[in-house]
Amino acid sequence: MEFATTVLNVLALSFVAIIGIAMAVIVVVFCADRLQTSDAIRRNYPVIGRFRGMFSTLGEFFRQYFFAMDREELPFNRAQRDWIKRAGEGQGNTVAFGSTRNLSLVGTPIFVNAAFPPLEQQFAKTAPMVIGSGARLPYTALSIFNISGMSYGAISKPAVQALSRGAQEAGCWLNTGEGGLSPFHLEGGCDVIFQIGTAKFGVRDAEGGLSEEKLRQVAAHETVRMFEIKLAQGAKPGKGGILPGAKVTAEIADIRGLKIGEDGISPNRHAEVDDWDDLLDLVARVREVSGKPVGIKTVVGAEGPIRELFKTINARGPESAPDFITVDGGEGGTGAAPMPLIDLVGMSIREALITVVDQRDRAGLKERIRIVASGKLVNPGDVAWAIAAGADFVTSARGFMFSLGCIQALKCNKNTCPTGITTHNKRFQAGLVVEDKYKRVASYAAEITHELETIAHSVGVAEPRLMRRRHVRIVQDNGRSLPLNEITPSYNPLTSP
């Protein structure tokens, strides 16, 4: 009995002590809030005003898991992410009862099913396509769907390793992004596209210009198949790449030519390129030194400059043309960019791709220049639209990030990515197991291609590159849909003026 009484007394004293400490903390916080001058809400409503900030911070997570419908979230909704997750895990992607997509929204693409689609024995696999037939070492690309630029630095070591091994298994290419070539890009044995950004990371000389010696060293790797000169990317056209210093480890600093902890800021354009002639000179220089196909990546702001590019190419001769053009839409993503550029600058891929394809064809360069579409194209319908609109290839970065396990935490720029994809914190990286994730990368790429072929067969053609704009209808504001070829006719030299 005495023991029980003692225990109750101790518990009572502990409770009183806890209450006392809590009251003391509240008083301290009350005084701190009342005296501070930076936050009006906390100053006028001490203590309880702090909940506003907490709820605002947690709101994005509650919306994602509890309140947002499957098709509501941005930049990618739950339906898109779940499709990629199932594809990466090799699960079936059939659904029941009906579509959850609102098919009456303006701009929705609807594919035109054929009355008599091809039978299974009439199907054809997506054929390989040669890029840069005039280069000393042309590249035969096996996959129509490939991995877009994500630099080592912006993403982690295990992420690059998983992408490299997954790309090799899937037979697709892996773009290095502008951060240079790391050993992890090469270890999987996949085809690699080396991106030359405006800072020339990986191939820069002491003054920040292009080092031909380093360019030859990169080109000497057999698996480095092509070079892509980056002019701009969709998330931040007009501004160079931004790698926060918190992500610049000793290894990344060595690869990029930076100091440990130094922000990796790329110029907003190549210093030696003032016009289209200068750009074509740079393309020719890289192609001559490397012997491999060279293309450009850009964002379209208006039709006029693109027309001038092709006019300049024809004035100099088709051999001066880049071997491919990667068109990135204004909806493209990145790890760090100013909000006004993400939100407001650059044409959407839905407009930009058609602009570039039509101008290329009008210039008579369809067989000379391949078109690569990029920018939020992560599901089979997105990819099928791009191919029907005129793209030869489609690349995705964020789709493959989802296949690695990205949960859209929106922490890419803070080195705190909870899935280990965009962080160099070893604790978080431990969650990304390369031996598991590379299989998901390969499975996602294979499932995209499989369902892309399914759509192609549905519209009546044997393989995806036979799809045309007439195979897609676009919903209009009156509720009706029109064929894409009537909205934006493809250039035809026999009928066009």
- Encode pLDDT of 448-475 as tens digits: 999 999 999 999 999 999 999 999 999 9
Segment 191-216 mean pLDDT:
93
CB atoms within 10 A of CB 250: 10
Question: In terms of Cα–Cα distance, which of 118, 121, 139, 117 is closest to 130?
Answer: 139
The residue whose two tokens read 């991995």 is 147
Question: In terms of Cα–Cα distance, which of 334, 154, 150 is closest to 235?
Answer: 334
Of residues 80 and 394, more confidence is placed in 394
What residues contact residue 322 under an 8 Å CB cut-off, 6+ apart? Answer: 229, 280, 283, 294, 295, 296, 369
The residue whose two tokens read 């009439």 is 122
Most confident of 110-124, 157-171, 251-265: 157-171
- Encode pLDDT of 6-44 as tens digits: 767 767 778 888 888 888 888 888 898 888 887 777 887
Q: Which two tokens stand for residue 55?
A: 């709820």
Q: Which two tokens stand for residue 285?
A: 């220089």
Contact of 126 with 454, CB cutoff 8 Å: no
pLDDT category at 444 given cuts 50, 70, 90 is: very high
Contact of 173 with 146, CB cutoff 8 Å: yes
Mean per-residue pLDDT over the chain, rounded? 88
Kindly report the pTM of this predicted structure.
Answer: 0.86
Residue 363 has pLDDT above 60, yes or no: yes
What is the length of the chain?
497
Distance (Å) of CA 484 to CA 260, 390, 464: 51, 11, 16
Segment 382-389 mean pLDDT:
97
**Bridge partners of 327?**
298, 373
Question: In terms of Cα–Cα distance, which of 386, 384, 402, 358 is closest to 163?
Answer: 402
**Bridge partners of 125?**
none
How far apart (Å, rounded) are the C-alpha atoms in residues 194 and 159?
A: 17
Name residue 71's amino acid. Answer: R
Q: Are strands 472-475 and 481-483 parallel, antiparallel or unpaired?
A: antiparallel
Segment 267-286 mean pLDDT:
95
pLDDT of residue 369: 98
How far apart (Å, rounded) are the C-alpha atoms in residues 71 and 63?
A: 12
Distance (Å) of CA 223 to CA 190, 227, 288, 400: 7, 12, 18, 20
How far apart (Å, rounded) are the C-alpha atoms in residues 59 and 299?
A: 33
- Encode pLDDT of 323-359 as tens digits: 999 999 877 777 667 777 777 788 899 999 999 999 9
Contact of 472 with 484, CB cutoff 8 Å: yes
pLDDT of residue 278: 97
Name residue 432's amino acid. Answer: L
Contact of 327 with 374, CB cutoff 8 Å: yes
CB atoms within 10 A of CB 77: 18
The b/e string for 25-40 (b: 16+ C-beta within 10 A; e otherwise) is eeeeeeeebeeeeeee
How far apart (Å, rounded) are the C-alpha atoms in residues 265 and 245?
A: 10
Contact of 174 with 447, CB cutoff 8 Å: no
Most confident of 67-76, 250-259, 422-431, 457-466: 457-466
Of 167-181, 206-220, 236-250, give the lowest mean pLDDT range. 236-250
CB atoms within 10 A of CB 199: 24
Question: In terms of Cα–Cα distance, which of 259, 266, 436 is closest to 335?
Answer: 266
